[in-house]
Amino acid sequence: MDVLSDAITAMRTGVPHSSRTLMSAPWGMRFAPSDGAGCHVILQGSCWLLPPGREPIPLAPGDVVFLAHGHGHAIADDPETPLVDVIQEQDGSWVLSEETPQGPGPATLMLCGAYRLGRARAHPLLTGLPDVVHLPARIGTYPALRAAVDLLGAELERPGPGSDALVPALLDSLLLYILRAWLHGHAEQAATGWAAALADPAMADALHALHHDPARPWTVEELGARAGLSRAAFARRFTTIVGQPPLTYLTWWRMTIASRLLATGDAPLRVVAERGGYSSEFAFAKAFKREFGVSPGKYRRQHDNKIEQGALRPSWE
CATH code at position 216: 1.10.10.60
Tens of pLDDT along 302-311? 877 654 444 4
List of the chain residues with pLDDT < 50 = 1, 307-317
Range of the domain at 233: 200-317
Regarding whether 122 and 14 lie in a shared domain, the answer is yes
229-260 burial, b at 16+ Cβ within 10 Å, e below that, comes to: beeeebbebbeebbbeebeebbbbbbbbbbbb
Is residue 207 one of the residues assigned to a domain? Answer: yes
- Please state, in angstroms and rounded to a whole number, the distance separating the CA atoms of residues 61 and 41: 8
- Please state, in angstroms and rounded to a whole number, the distance separating the CA atoms of residues 95 and 31: 11
Regarding whether 243 and 159 lie in a shared domain, the answer is no
Regarding whether 63 and 147 lie in a shared domain, the answer is yes
Which among 153, 186, 219 is the end of a domain? 186
Q: Are 96 and 86 in contact (CB under 8 A)?
A: yes
Regarding whether 225 and 141 lie in a shared domain, the answer is no
Regarding whether 113 and 8 lie in a shared domain, the answer is yes
Regarding whether 213 and 143 lie in a shared domain, the answer is no
Regarding whether 10 and 94 lie in a shared domain, the answer is yes
Question: What per-residue confidence (pLDDT) applies to 254?
Answer: 92
Domain count, the chain: 2
Regarding whether 177 and 43 lie in a shared domain, the answer is yes
Regarding whether 106 and 71 lie in a shared domain, the answer is yes
Is residue 195 one of the residues assigned to a domain? Answer: no
Question: What per-residue confidence (pLDDT) applies to 312?
Answer: 41
Regarding whether 50 and 154 lie in a shared domain, the answer is yes
Is residue 24 one of the residues assigned to a domain? Answer: yes
Regarding whether 206 and 118 lie in a shared domain, the answer is no
Is residue 192 one of the residues assigned to a domain? Answer: no
Which among 131, 161, 186 is the end of a domain? 186
Is residue 193 one of the residues assigned to a domain? Answer: no
Tens of pLDDT along 83-137? 999 987 766 567 787 777 788 999 999 999 988 877 777 778 888 888 999 999 8
CATH code assigned at 138: 2.60.120.280
Question: What per-residue confidence (pLDDT) applies to 75?
Answer: 96
Question: What per-residue confidence (pLDDT) applies to 93?
Answer: 64
Regarding whether 204 and 177 lie in a shared domain, the answer is no
Q: What angle do CA 301, 305, 309 make, to 5 degrees?
A: 170
Is residue 194 one of the residues assigned to a domain? Answer: no
Which among 132, 163, 186 is the end of a domain? 186
